[in-house]
Amino acid sequence: MSFPKYPGYRDSGVPWVPVVPAHWRTGGLRWLAKRFSGGTPDKNTQEYWHDGTIPWLNSGAVNQALITEPSTFISESGFAYSSAKWIPAGALVMALAGQGKTKGMAAQLAISSTCNQSMAAIVPAAEMQPRFLLWWLQSNYQNIRNMAGGDMRDGLNLDLLGEIPCPIPRLDEQTAISTFLDRETSKIDALVKEQKRLIELLKEKRQAVISQAVTKGLDPDVPMKDSGVEWLGEVPAHWDVWRVKDAARLESGHTPSKQVPEYWEDCDIPWVSLNDSKQLAVVDYISETAVCINELGLANSSARMLPTGAVVFTRDATIGLAAITSRPMAVSQHLIAWCPGERINALYLLRVFNVMKDFLDAATFGATIKTIGMADVKNLVTPLPQVSEQREIAAFIGVRKSEFDALISEAESATALLGERRAALISAAVTGKIDVRSLIPQPEAATA
């Protein structure tokens, strides 16, 4: 859809928006809004936090564009003995620190509240419509972070916020722009939500297909028997059920000493560690690793070189992420590896691990980092058809998985394009590249 433009433009005088409609003004945020930071009552004084009635926000609150509920409440005494200040409903809040940990940066208050010292309150003056200002700030997320040194720093402060340049349309235009963006982004957000739900359903269906093939086989009419294993249920009557360690050799890993620099110089041996978890979550085969070790480090640790075709498996943090090595490599102590014997196909074993997720989660322990003990690892079981049938099952899964992966990729691409369109639409509207006034119903004139 094409949008109309303004009849004329002029140089804005600010770098973030080179030109603006000829009748728009520009100015710094310090002249357009009152700015102040919040405060946090002493966390060691219980009465400041017990039975609180005053809404209070932390930086994570900006992950939602409209804040309708506080992060928590503080007491009257907590408010009195801290630098927290009331922020009126309708005002904006911005995260000054912790930006790398938050998905957003600025939000509007639907309630009156207070906030912590890592946030700034922005109360727009009469000439700035709060919602328009919010859209402007959100569209300049990276520009604002760059003011504080970029992605790796949290150096925003009230003075820097005052230097943020802002376009200043007439108030009626600001209202029209914010109304237009509220409406259009809601439509886009609804489409994104549909695509994300589609992705979830496709992933669920893909997992169901893998699970059905691995545990029940490809013949729907085959006689079944109780496997004696809760997570497996019934399996084809002609299948065996073995412990994995009896079908594949179990290997553990290790980390060469970090205190010996020579173990970490000129490294060229792929070494699978928890740094590869994201890769292991999505690939079937692994050939490159985030970290490598060298021959000296390997020789002076209990890590061993694994052959091509070993199935590596995380036993800490996210349990059961697995992939097949496509070349010789080693693993850290946070992983184990299975070297398949003659009775099991590596790709079939990988698919078995793919469907073990719920069972593996139930077998984990640890409050900070989840882990699965070696005793439980050694007792893991697998359904075991003949190798020829394993290969048929793995091939079938490969075809169906590819079909699902293609559909998921299409939906993810559509989601990304919608996100790009959303960002472009916001930027175009708040900078005046498009004139949306005619696209918003105007209030009817009063009759005498």
Same domain, 228 and 362: yes
The pLDDT assigned to 311 comes to 97
Backbone angles phi, psi at 292, to 5 degrees: -120, 160
Q: How confident is the model at residue 286 (pLDDT cuts 50, 70, 90)?
A: very high
| Residue 448 maps to a domain | yes
Q: How confident is the model at residue 442 (pLDDT cuts 50, 70, 90)?
A: low
The SS3 of residue 401 is helix
Q: Render pLDDT for 14-42 as a digit per residue (tens, 0 to 9).
A: 889 999 999 999 999 999 999 999 999 99
Task: Tell me which of 356, 384, 412 is where a domain ends.
Answer: 384
User: Average pLDDT over the chain, rounded to whole?
Assistant: 92
Task: Give the pair of three-digit tokens for residue 122.
Answer: 């922005």
99 within 8 A of 143, measured Cβ to Cβ: no
Task: Using CA atoms of 388, 390, 392, 394 in order, give the dihedral in degrees to the nearest 10.
Answer: -150
Helices (H) and strands (E) in the chain, counts: 13, 24
227 within 8 A of 233, measured Cβ to Cβ: yes
The pLDDT assigned to 448 comes to 44
- Residue 303 in this model has a pLDDT that exceeds 60: yes
- Residue 430 in this model has a pLDDT that exceeds 70: yes
| Residue 11 maps to a domain | no
Same domain, 318 and 396: no
Task: Tell me which of 384, 414, 433 is where a domain ends.
Answer: 384
For residue 380, give the CATH number of its domain.
Answer: 3.90.220.20
Kindly report the pTM of this predicted structure: 0.84
CA 359 – CA 352 distance, rounded (Å) = 12
The pLDDT assigned to 173 comes to 97
Backbone angles phi, psi at 309, to 5 degrees: 95, 5
Place of tokens 């992950």: 63
Same domain, 104 and 175: no
Q: Render pLDDT for 343-382 as a digit per residue (tens, 0 to 9).
A: 999 999 999 999 997 788 777 766 567 888 899 899 999 9
Same domain, 34 and 132: yes
CA 106 – CA 367 distance, rounded (Å) = 33
